[in-house]
Each structure stands twice: as structure tokens, then as C-alpha cells.
Amino acid sequence: MLSQAENQLLTRVGPGTPMGTLMRRFWQPFALASELAGGADSDPIRVRLLGEDLVAFRTAGGDLGLIRNNCPHRGASLFFGRNEEEGLRCVYHGWKFDYRGTCVDMPNEPAESDFKQKVQATAYPCVERGGVLWAYMGPPGSQNAPPDLEWTRVPPAHRFVSKRLQQCSYLQNVEGEVDSSHVSFLHSRGVADYSRSDSLAGPPEYMARDRAPRFFVLPTSYGMLIGARRTAEEDAYYWRITQFLMPTYTMIPAEVGAPVAFTAAVPIDDEHMMGFTVTWHPDRQLTNAEVAAIESWTGIHTEVDPRTFKPVRNKENEYLIDRAWQRSGGSYTGIRGIREEDLAVQESMGAVFDRSQEHLSSADLAVIALRRRLLESVRSLAENGIEPAEARHPESYAVRSAALVLPRDVAWHEGAADALLWRS
């Protein structure tokens, strides 16, 4: 378990906090590109990211802006601004800012005034990658390229990207993503079938037969490689290999040759997060059947309100749990949807769980390793000024997850090596 001080260190992400400072050294996904897809001078959108209230917009020329919500003049919200002629104009007094935050017009000042040259709104660099908008909120001019993730390179028809609001700390979600042992319970069909294969990529007989996987963790240049080993055959093991990528990204195990899955837990503030989920295939378009399965909203993507991104099955309606279905053995939880099952347990812990009260076991090895990796990074930056190496090497993110059967005498990370890497 963590001490209360360590728990606070990992879960407080606002401006000036050690974890917030670390997070700002990495590019953060903050919106779907489709949210600013209205063409020239699209409507601005509200964004809350790492405890800061911001406004995002796209200029007629295609430049992306992410600017502090409050106008530097008198604090009115720039969300109500007019997106016009390569800038965002505050409706209160007409001050206008370009996508870099530079004040380019002060129509309520005398024509001879040079005051606009002394005013700068806080703005963050943005890029579009893989149908997602990314922001860098760290020290000005110090950013490297965004992480070189395979799904950001494939054609749009090869991927499906979704976003959701989640009402808890980012850490509760990331810990769930690296924990393969819960799959045999939380996501099983019921008491007679402890593991289902839809959207989880794994022969159900292996996960039903062995519900107590052994965990192995290896540090990598981008985060951690996590192996969950289950008994397969007399001479073989079934391995679910998860990738954890700093600071809050994971790749869920997928059968070799099947579509791959990526998740990001992006802190909105201490008690809320945005979850981005991507399913992609590196070599071909997603089939109609694969897209239909995703849009059934029973897997790792979830149905959301298109304006707020709040899941349709959510905390307020108890995820529409069906107790009769649960009692009948048709579902272990009575909740429809893998993602909703995750939401139910992660949000049920409270907005920020007090980890000093938990009791960890050997099945929590990956969770323990995840916390140690984050604590090491946040302390190195806060106490010694050591920048996170992962943020400086976006090329190291060129990896995949995998689920596969290997002979017992083959080292898991070596036997799966070809399946875990991709090269452009």
C-alpha cells in the first residue's frame, strides 16, 4: 500500500503540484479532432486539462489554439469569443488573440496605442495526430515530438477512436488497465464461464481454467512491459502482455494479428479524467463486423452523450445494472459493457481512493510496479530536476501489446519480441 503522502503525490495533478509538473512534460491528448471539425473558424470548445480551464479553437488557416479560458483583460470567458480571421476575439471588449496567445487587436484602445504588444494570453502548443488533438503544457519551447504511436500513423479507416468522461482520479483507471487478473472475474459472463473473448482477446478456456495468473514486470525505455502468465497446455503458457507507456497510456493485450487496443487516462483535475480508447489494425481497414462490434458498446469503447462525453450507463443510473441477469449467471456483474464494468468498480472507489487503506497481494505486482515507476519519475523531477527520459524519446513508443501461447521453456519477453514491436 501507499502512504497517504505518496497517494497525494501521485493523485494531485493541478498547476504547481509535483505530479502536475511531471504530466506537463508529456504531450496530452485532450479532444477528438472531430470536436473542432466545423471547417474554417470552427466553434471554440471548453477544455479542462490538468486542473486548468482552457478554450480550444481551430483557425481558418487550420492552426490549433489552446488558450486560457479567462481573457487577460477583465477575465471574461473566451469560450464565448468570436473565432474570426485567424484569431479568437473576446466579445466583452473585442480584444483578439491568435493561436499562440498573442494579442493582435485592441479595438477599444486608441489607434496609436501599443498596449497590445504588452499583453499575452497563456496558450499551449497543439498538434493533431491520429484523429486526436494533443497539447504540450510544459516549459515553453522545451517540447519534443508527440509519442510515435502506431495508431497515429495508420489511415483513418484502420482505426476507431472514442473519448469518455470518467468521474475519478486518472490513477484508478490506469491501475485497472495494467491488472490482468480482474478479467477472469469482472468481465466474465457469469459463474459458469469466467472469461469471455469478445474485445478482450484471449482464448476463454485459458482464462477460465487459470484465474490466478502469475505476473512479471520488465522496465522499458517508455514505461513497463507486464506479463500475466496462465497455464495453457502441459508444455505451454498463455501470456497476456500489457504495455504501460509513460505517463498514463496502456495497450491492452490482443491476439497476434487481431486489432490492437490503446487507452489513455488523461487527468481533467484531481477527481476527473478523460479516457481515450483506440482500436486499430496496422495492416488493413477495420472490417464492417469489427466496427459494428465496437459500436454495440459492449466492449472497451462506451456509448456517450455526444456533447458532454458522459457515458450513457453511468454512476448516476448505477450503470443500468440488471440484478436478474447477474443472478441468472448470464453476467458476473449484471452490467452491460466491458468499459462500464471498469467504470463501476473504478468510480465506486470514490473520486480519489485512499490507498493507505488497501491490502495488496501477489496479483497486484503490476500495480505496485506502476506506482513505483510514477513515484520515481515525479521525485526525480521535483527533487533533482531530472527530466523524464520517456518524454525526450517519442520513438521509443513504437510498440504493441500481445496475447499468445508460448512454450514453457521460452522466455516470455523474448518469445513475444516480434509481436511487440512495429517499425515504419
DSSP annotation string for 377-399:
HHHHHHHH----GGGG-GGGG-B
What are the tens digits of pLDDT across the range 45-74?
999 999 999 999 999 899 999 999 999 999
Nine cell digits for residue 66 = 489552446
Give the C-alpha distances (Å, rounded to integers) separating 274 from 30, 195, 292, 388: 8, 27, 24, 23
Whether the per-residue pLDDT at 192 is higher than 70: the answer is no
What are the tens digits of pLDDT across the range 348-385?
999 999 999 999 999 999 999 999 999 999 999 999 99
Per-position b or e across 3-17, b if 16+ CB within 10 A of its CB = eeebbbbbbbbeeeb
79 Cβ neighbours under 8 A, 6+ residues apart: 44, 45, 46, 55, 69
- What is the domain partition of the chain in residue ranges? 28-135, 150-420
Q: Is the pTM of this model over 0.75?
A: yes
CATH architecture of 150-420: Alpha-Beta Complex (3.90)
Instruction: Look up the CATH number of domain 28-135.
Output: 2.102.10.10
Residue type, 245: L
> pLDDT at position 279, please?
98
Backbone angles phi, psi at 318, to 5 degrees: 55, 35
194 pLDDT tier (thresholds 50, 70, 90):
very low
Backbone angles phi, psi at 411, to 5 degrees: -60, 130
What mean pLDDT, rounded, does the chain reach? 93
329 pLDDT tier (thresholds 50, 70, 90):
confident
User: Cell match 479516457: residue?
Assistant: 275
CA nearest neighbour of 7 among 380, 315, 384, 371: 371
> pLDDT at position 38, please?
72
Which position has the higher pLDDT, 350 or 202? 350
183 pLDDT tier (thresholds 50, 70, 90):
confident
Task: Kindly tell me the number of DSSP H helices and DSSP E strands found in the chain.
Answer: 10, 19
315 Cβ neighbours under 8 A, 6+ residues apart: 167, 343, 344, 347
Contact at 8 Å (CB) between 347 and 196? no
Contact at 8 Å (CB) between 196 and 187? yes
Nine cell digits for residue 184 = 477472469
Backbone angles phi, psi at 378, to 5 degrees: -70, -35
Nine cell digits for residue 155 = 489511415
User: Cell match 489513455: residue?
Assistant: 264
What are the tens digits of pLDDT across the range 95-142?
999 999 999 999 999 988 999 999 999 999 999 999 999 999 999 988
> pLDDT at position 189, please?
73
DSSP string, 66-121: EEESB-TTT--BGGG-EEETTEEE-TTT--EE-TTSBEEE-TTS-TT--GGGG-B-
91 pLDDT tier (thresholds 50, 70, 90):
very high
Whether the per-residue pLDDT at 207 is higher than 60: the answer is yes
> pLDDT at position 203, please?
58
